[in-house]
Amino acid sequence: MHEENSRRDMIKKVATMALASTALSSLSERVAAHDKAVGEPLKGKINHSVCAWCYDIPLADLCVAAKKIGIPSIDLVDPKDFAILKKHDMISAMVASNGPEWGITRGFNNPAHHDKLETYFRHYIDETAKAGFSNLICFSGNRNGLSDEQGIENCTKGLQRIIGYAEKKKVTLVMELLNSKVDHHDYQCDHTAWGVALCKSVGSENFKLLYDIYHMQIMEGDVIRNIRDHHQYIAHYHTGGVPGRHEIDETQELYYPAIMKAIYETGFKGHVAQEFIPSRPDKLASLNNAVHICDIA
């Protein structure tokens, strides 16, 4: 009996050691991304971009740093700054659209904005197309008491006034999914299901969603399942660590290599943009680390 108990104890110890080794190996793989040198070749399965607003440096300097890392695109650049991108042989995979008459809180769900939005977006569609870029961001606006159904109806009416023009110019209008729990209280396009319903209502391949992984983890979780189920309505992705929207490494709750693998397996050919706020002193090192974390084999 004593011999049998000893055998069982040994088996348990071996199993425990194996599990610990596996966990350590997984953690080591995640941390190893931090050791990648700037300029180390990327594997090419993910098209990378980075959001300009996260880095307190001139756009020209960000272009230089991004190119060294292997990032060909800067997100959320206004047309007035396209010349800087062109000078550095960069693109904007998602063009900004920040007008005085509208924004995240004032968007297509309010018919009172539709006339100005039509004028504004026709101009921005022209500028995006002229530069040879393809995606232009847009927003739903805050609910302000609107039901989900009424918000979809209002957005559809507003978007359909310009979607034909976008189709003609080969520009895709992309509405961002944002969380209304922490960062953008009362924002209407705050769940994947609502955004997908709007895509179906608009009924054009030139209207899709920007799936912000940070925001949707906060609102609904189940990130990989939602990506797999609704990938045909997604034109672009943004990253960010949860909680806090900082680095996307082992300090936060999401495992980005698995998310990138799921995105790649859908056949996605667009861009994934880093949109986290670096908390470490060397912000560009954090950016380099994030790109390599997302650089799946």
Is residue 9 assigned to a domain?
no
Q: What is the DSSP string of 280-296?
A: SS-HHHHHHHHHHHS--
Structure tokens at 115: 């006339």
* 90 and 74 Cβ atoms separated by less than 8 Å: yes
Flag whether 167 is in a domain: yes
Task: Give a yes or no: residue 8 inside a domain.
Answer: no
pTM (2 d.p.) = 0.88
Quick: pLDDT tens for 117-164: 999 999 999 999 999 999 999 999 999 999 999 999 999 999 999 999
What is the pLDDT confidence band of residue 5, given thresholds at 50, 70 and 90?
Answer: very low
pLDDT in tens, 186-239: 999 999 999 999 999 999 999 999 999 999 999 999 999 999 999 999 999 999
Tell me the C-alpha distance between 8 and 139, whole Å. Answer: 61
pLDDT score, position 35:
57
In a domain, 19, yes or no: no
Mean pLDDT (the chain) is 90
Q: What is the CATH number of the domain that holds 279?
A: 3.20.20.150
Residue with tokens 């991108």: 85
140 assigned to some structural domain: yes
Domain of 254, in residue numbers: 47-294
Identify the pLDDT of residue 37.
Answer: 75
Asked whether residue 86 is domain-assigned, the answer is: yes
Task: Quote the pLDDT of residue 36.
Answer: 72
Within a domain: 4: no
pLDDT band at 180 (very low <50, low <70, confident <90, very high): very high
Task: Report if residue 36 sits inside a domain.
Answer: no
Are 215 and 192 within 8 A, CB to CB?
A: no
Average of pLDDT values for 78-95?
98
| Interatomic CA distance for residues 40 and 55, integer angstroms | 22
- 3-class SS of residue 132: coil
Number of domains in the chain: 1
Tens digits of per-residue pLDDT, 24-50?
344 434 444 455 777 788 999 999 999
| CB contact burial 214-224 (16+ within 10 A = b; e otherwise) | bbbbbbbeebb
